[in-house]
A = this chain, B = another copy of it.
Amino acid sequence: MEDESFDPLDDPEERRVLYAALDSFRQYRKAAHFNITHLRRQSFYSLPAPQIDLLSSPPFDLIKTFQAVDEAIDSNANIAEGILELGPVAFGIDSTDDSWHGTAKPNDLDKARSTIRQLYRDWSFEGSPERHAAFSPLLDALSRCLPATPAERHRHRILVPGAGLGRLVFDLCAAGYTVEGNEISYHQLLASNYILNCVQHAGKHRLYPWALGFSNHLTRSAQLQSVAVPDISPAATLQQAQAETESAVHYSERMSMSSGDFCVLYKKPEYRGVFDAVTTCFFIDTAPNVISYIETIRNCLRSGGHWINLGPLLWHFESAPTPAERDKQRGRTVSGGGNGDDGIGEPGSFELSNDEVVALVKHYGFEMVEQKAASPTGYIQDPASMLQNIYRPVFWVARKI
């Protein structure tokens, strides 16, 4: 992980957010056992005795179900603790310092749970249909916009804002590009760092993505479905890709990750015109002010460079209309590493429809090269569930004039 020059430990608010993220992985096991199975056992044993007897016996076996869910929680918690083991080291926290223990709030624990679950999408074989629907239009567009042999793709520098658990960054690097991911969430940064840099072999962990939810299952085995994480060995795959693409530059020099607020960082003069393409995947609707995203992308793209976008418009701050509520939702109370004039601390927000976003992108000096409906796809969606949350994302390619 490239940490840039910014050290979160120097900023009291950033330190607090990092500590809470670390602590939430530390508490994953205990919190999940309490919230998911302990409370359910309590509720179960409040039933009339004949019902307890009935539901404890085949074919119901609810007590066995609680045990199986506890085992699933333990398996997921092993991942959380793998992430945690690496975290303090990566951020230069002394191993004897436990002042961050107990700092996670319920919101942080939710984020730890969703980050672990997100490994399904980014780093399991079963998540590949979701990745294919989201990533392949981006990869195809890149090869059209930036024609080059795989060996020469390293000349093209790509930025991936909202890099999340790092799979798109990884796939672009494997394809030969020089890629920089950016991510603001410490939960995601810690998890992607663990998978990309520390997990040496495919299938190291078993993840139970659906075990913590008890609704909409046709069978109990659907709830207890597990997937291997990661689906591939990141290091071995990059080595193999290096050989196949015959890239002139080693993959370790073509992949990096920056942490911090996208707008604060990439509006800086040193980033002016440095990228040949920016790919935004399920990202632009994380903006309270999408103009700020557009200006940032315009700043860091070279003239003639391409912005390739795929996603819906589930505006993340729709339910948090005031800056104070937005900061609370983000887990920050002041701008992260910024001066408070930009990025997180920025006041004002609005939500656009898709045609308005497209008009705004054009207004800020882009021409639309391509626009289409992308394939419908779930986002961390159990394909067996009785409830399918399916996105119908739009896809477009804009060129900086």
Interface residues of A (CB under 8 A from B): 39-40, 42-48, 51, 54-55, 59-60, 62, 213-220, 222-223, 285, 289, 291, 312-315, 318, 321-323, 347-356, 359-360, 363, 376, 385-394
B363 touches A43 (CB 8 A): no
Q: A39-B322, A321-B40 are in contact. Are A62 and B350 (CB under 8 A)?
A: yes
A400 shortest CB reach to chain B, Å: 19
- Give the residue of B48, B376, B387 whose beta carbon is less than 8 angstroms from that of A348: B48
Assess the B394–A313 pair: CB atoms within 8 A: no
A360 and B285 alpha carbons, distance in the complex (Å): 44
Minimum distance in angstroms from A343 CB to a CB of chain B: 14
Main SS at interface, chain A: loop
Contact A353 B223 (CB under 8 A): yes
A286 to B206, CA, bound (A): 33
Write out the residue numbers on chain B whose beta carbons fall within 8 Å of the beta carbon of A385. 392
For A215, give its contact among B323, B348, B351, B389 (CB under 8 Å).
Answer: B351
Known A-B contacts A40-B321, A55-B350, A215-B314; the reply to A394 vs B386 at CB < 8 A is: yes
Contacts of A323 in B (CB 8 A): 46
Contacts of A360 in B (CB 8 A): 60
Report how far A351 CA is from B45 CA in the complex, Å: 14
A353 touches B44 (CB 8 A): no
Max chain B C-beta neighbours (<10 A), residue from A55, A60, A322, A360: A60
Please tell me if the beta carbons of A213 and B40 are within 8 angstroms of each other in the complex.
no
Q: Which residue of B lies closest to A62 (CB)?
A: B350
The 8 closest A-B pairs by CB, nearest first: A47-B348, A46-B348, A214-B351, A39-B321, A46-B347, A312-B386, A217-B353, A43-B349
Which B residues are in CB contact (< 8 Å) with A44?
A: 348-350
- Chain B residue numbers with a CB within 8 Å of A355 are 59, 218-220
| Residues of chain B lying within 8 A (CB to CB) of residue A54 | 363
Closest residue of chain B to A45, judged by CB?
A: B348
> In the complex the two chains form, what is the Cα distance from A169 to B289 in whole Å?
47
Residues of B contacting A391 in the complex (Cβ-Cβ under 8 angstroms): 386-388
Cα distance A321–B45 in the bound complex, in angstroms: 12
Within 8 Å by CB of A218, from B216, B354, B388, B389, lies B354
Q: Other than the known A60-B352, A386-B392, what 11 A-B pairs have Cβ atoms closer than 8 Å?
A: A47-B347, A213-B318, A215-B314, A219-B353, A219-B354, A220-B355, A385-B392, A387-B391, A388-B390, A388-B391, A389-B389
Task: Determine the residue in chain B with the shortest Cβ distance to A388.
Answer: B390
| 25 examples of A-B residue contacts, CB within 8 angstroms | A39-B321, A43-B321, A43-B322, A43-B348, A43-B349, A43-B350, A46-B347, A47-B289, A47-B348, A48-B348, A54-B363, A59-B359, A60-B359, A62-B350, A214-B315, A215-B313, A215-B318, A216-B314, A217-B313, A217-B353, A220-B355, A222-B353, A313-B386, A386-B391, A386-B394
